[in-house]
């Protein structure tokens, strides 16, 4: 299971809650702008073509723009994704 839930929008930023179960993989994609992922519970990995980062509760990871990546729960996790409102995602990678 993987899902995102819209939270609050500000003038420039928006937030989403991300949830995933063990092994559930969010699809590979790129984003037009950088964003921040804050891990609340559990753990996950964020994988890039040249590196994999393990994230745990309390970690904040800055996701660079225009780099293919994906997130996998290891095991279940909850996070807040903070991003600009005008960000665009491309899942055709």
* Mean pLDDT in order along the chain per 10 residues (93 residues): 90 96 95 98 97 98 98 96 98 93
Note the pTM of the prediction, 2 decimals.
Answer: 0.91
Structure tokens at 40: 């609340």
Cα gap 3→16, rounded to integer Å: 10
The pLDDT score that the predictor gives to residue 37 is 98
Structure tokens at 42: 């559990």
Cα gap 63→37, rounded to integer Å: 7
Q: Are 20 and 92 in contact (CB under 8 A)?
A: no
């Amino acid at each position: 299971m993987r899902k995102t839930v819209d939270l609050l929008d500000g003038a420039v930023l928006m937030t989403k809650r991300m949830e995933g179960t063990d092994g559930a993989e969010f699809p590979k994609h790129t984003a037009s702008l950088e964003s921040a992922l804050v891990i609340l519970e559990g753990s996950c990995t964020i994988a890039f073509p040249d590196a994999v980062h393990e994230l745990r509760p309390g970690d904040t990871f800055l996701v660079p723009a225009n780099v293919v990546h994906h997130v996998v729960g290891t095991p279940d996790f909850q996070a807040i994704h903070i991003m600009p409102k005008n960000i665009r995602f491309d899942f055709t990678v």
